[in-house]
Amino acid sequence: MKLNEHIFRANDIRGIAYEDLNEQVVSLLGRSLGSEALSRDIKDLIIGRDARVSSPEIMEWLSSGILSTGCNVIDIGIVTSPMFYHSTFELAASSGVVITGSHNPAEYNGFKIVFKNQSTSSDEILLLRERIINKDFQLGQGKLDKVDIKESYINRIVKSVQLNKALDISIDCGNGAAGVVAKEVYEKLGCNVIELYGNPDGLFPNHHPDPSKKENMLDLIDSVAKNNSTVGLAFDGDADRLGVISPSGEMIYPDRQMILFSRQVLESNPGASVVFDVKCSQLLSDEISRLKGNPLICKTGHTFIKQKIRETSAHLGGEMSGHIFFNDRWPGFDDGIYAGARMLEIIANSDDKNVFESVPNLVSTPEINIKATDDRKFQIVDQFIKHSNFENANMIDIDGIRVEFKKGWGLLRASNTSPFLVLRFEAETEEELAKIKEIFYLNLKEIEPETDRF
């Protein structure tokens, strides 16, 4: 068997369907999961899947592997990743896996795994790999049941969020799994909903389901303008990330969303901790401190954010990619649809015509991605850290390197999920931003001479 070990990543397992994730590999992963579950005295695993073309077959292969160990399978069908997370709190079983390629291209797929309500750590994912390599499997015959959790998920959101008035909104489901539930959630909250691309289609015929990229938000921006919508909400392929468009058509990046969410959460929970990743604006940390909350910077990745929230009992977490984690009225998992509902609550309960105008802003870039192989990307970051010289700057190296200058900062890290280097920059002025970008470019070019300007 040819096993691409790069599919075992920091936050999940992910690769190209039918190549990295062929029938043999996926069946063995099922045997590994079932065996690991039984070793932890877990007898039932919940399995859900997204709308990708490869997901039905991958679900069959994974289920057969799990059942062959004697562990039972609870099939919850096509769901968002947050619906799957919800099921681990709603059903008697608290463990399982959702099959999803998330925001990656259509040919990719993967697995997000939970044991006893907690996402697997990097070490746990490597343990699953070791079970496969060592053929450390149990034998038995489990049983398969099917359960529908959609209604209980909708009810959970409706009970948590209260809107003071009806809102006219536009949403873009991107032909992803959000289409099975998002419109119904917002209508039950009392909104008038214009829905784009609500039909789940794993080929993603309209645009790529990644709301962090502006080119994927253009149709939603148009819808907000044409329909005079109060806000536009967009979701990635498995709906655990949120994109937001203001009534004026501005993209509100997640770190600026987090400023509004922090105000709401800290008003109800004075002094609470708020976790955010290294890609987020300095303005977010400043605002949390101004509100007398406790700002906590963290590595990028949904498992790292969740772990930090558990360790610190933080009431809120978020990262620049759009994962938002509420741990006040919600069980702490990332959910783009629920985060959208909380944004609607903020808007409906405000007297401002455009609440986003109250959110400060600096000159910044979105995420900049540079192609690098999975073998090379971490080496480049390590070399950059070792050989770069930054004078009069504060360096944070918990995840790649974030260099904080007097009037701005720059970041270089390796993506946990894709073969890319990730950069981001922020400064007080365009001139300062250009200076910081140039410093990073020159240092990176010393390591990778073919690097283009960014």
Which residues belong to the active site?
102
Classified as helix, coil or strand, 147 is: coil
Please give the C-alpha separations between residue 94 and each of 67, 86, 99, in angstroms, as whole numbers: 17, 9, 16
In order of 220, 402, 429, 437, 444, the CA distances from 449 in angstroms are 39, 22, 28, 16, 8
Coil, helix or strand for 302? helix
The pair of three-digit structure tokens given for residue 106, joined into one six-digit string: 């259509």
- Cβ density class 85-98: b for 16+ within 10 Å, e for less: bbbbebbebbbbbb
Query: In Å, how far from its chain's centre is CA 17?
Result: 20
425: which strand partners? 410
Return the structure tokens found at 253: 């990046």
How long, in residues, is the chain? Answer: 454
Residue where the block lists tokens 């309500």: 117
Listing DSSP states for 409-453 in one string gives EEEEEE-SSSSEEEEEEEESSHHHHHHHHHHHHHHHHHH-TTPPP
Backbone φ, ψ for residue 440 (5° rounding): -65, -45
- Three-state secondary-structure class, residue 91: coil
Return the SS3 of 151: helix
- 151's CB contacts (< 8 A; 6+ apart) are none
